Amino acid sequence: MTPLDFLRTTEVARVLERASHCGAVPLSIHHVTCGDEGPPIVSFGDCAACRYVSNMPTGKRLCRTSRVEASAKAIELGKRTPFICPMGFACLAVPALPAGDAHFVLTAGPYC
């Protein structure tokens, strides 16, 4: 089973959904390669701050930029890396699984 197959299983989805609910925080996992990320593999939860930023003209780009920078740092360090989203809230990037030259990174937040 590849890391992508594993992340797409029903069991993993249930665990992440429960973690999002229990932690009251949005969670997502992105495939990150060469300093760029693909669309979310899985994503659970959202918040009013995220919806607000997404509706701003440059909001999605700003959010993605901060998330990609944090993901790259988390991969480089090999451990969870806190970062601040465009709204000033704390978020967390965690390298989840390596996939060859790429990685899957779990993003948690914003914590607000």
Cα–Cα dist 95/98, whole Å: 8
Q: pLDDT band at 88, cuts 50/70/90? A: confident
Q: For position 93, what pLDDT does the model report?
A: 96
Amino acid at 9: T
Q: What is the pLDDT of residues 23-44, one digit of tens each?
A: 889 999 999 988 889 889 999 9
Q: Are 21 and 45 in contact (CB under 8 A)?
A: yes
Q: In what side-by-side order are the strands of the sheet with 36-44?
A: 36-44, 27-33, 102-111, 90-99, 81-84
Q: Are 70 and 91 in contact (CB under 8 A)?
A: yes
